Amino acid sequence: ELKVEQNPLFLSMQEGKNYTIYCNYSTTSDRLYWYRQDPGKSLESLFVLLSNGAVKQEGRLMASLDTKARLSTLHITAAVHDLSATYFCAVDMEGGSEKLVFGKGTKLTVNP
């Protein structure tokens, strides 16, 4: 059974600081996704990582994937209040199954 673990589950940080969210998964996977969810809203796709060593950046967020370690990271640089949200990582199974298995999410609060 594929399991996805994120840590930390809660993160409170000051504006301007850097931090990293970690996502571990238990079995080989084709693809890893990062989503953002604002309260009461749906999921917004941030990144799709397809191969070992993949790195993608958008603004203050950078995601990377190490398939050998079964680990993805989401790095936040110089956080701003607008980044406050819950961030989920998700993976799908190697072999073509399309369903996503999500982590529990990391609730990020950026304080002024």
Partner 1 sequence: GAGVSQSPRYKVAKRGQDVALRCDPISGHVSLFWYQQALGQGPEFLTYFQNEAQLDKSGLPSDRFFAERPEGSVSTLKIQRTQQEDSAVYLCASSGRAGIWSYEQYFGPGTRLTVT
Q: Which residues bind partner 1 (CB under 8 A)?
A: 4, 30-31, 33, 35, 41-45, 48, 88, 90, 92, 97-105
Q: Which is nearer to partner 1, 37 or 73 (CB)?
A: 37
Nearest Cα neighbor of 58 from 24, 31, 34, 89 is 34
Q: In whole angstroms, how far apart are CA 105 and each of 13, 22, 30, 69, 93?
A: 16, 10, 20, 20, 19
Q: In whole angstroms, how far apart are CA 14 and each of 23, 60, 93?
A: 22, 14, 36
Q: Report the alpha-carbon distance of residue 112 to residue 109 in Å, rounded.
A: 10
Q: Which is nearer to partner 1, 77 or 92 (CB)?
A: 92
Q: How near is the Cβ of 47 to partner 1 at its closest, in Å?
A: 10
Q: How near is the Cβ of 19 to partner 1 at its closest, in Å?
A: 20
Q: How near is the Cβ of 24 to partner 1 at its closest, in Å?
A: 14
Q: Which is nearer to partner 1, 44 or 82 (CB)?
A: 44
Q: Which is nearer to partner 1, 70 or 77 (CB)?
A: 70
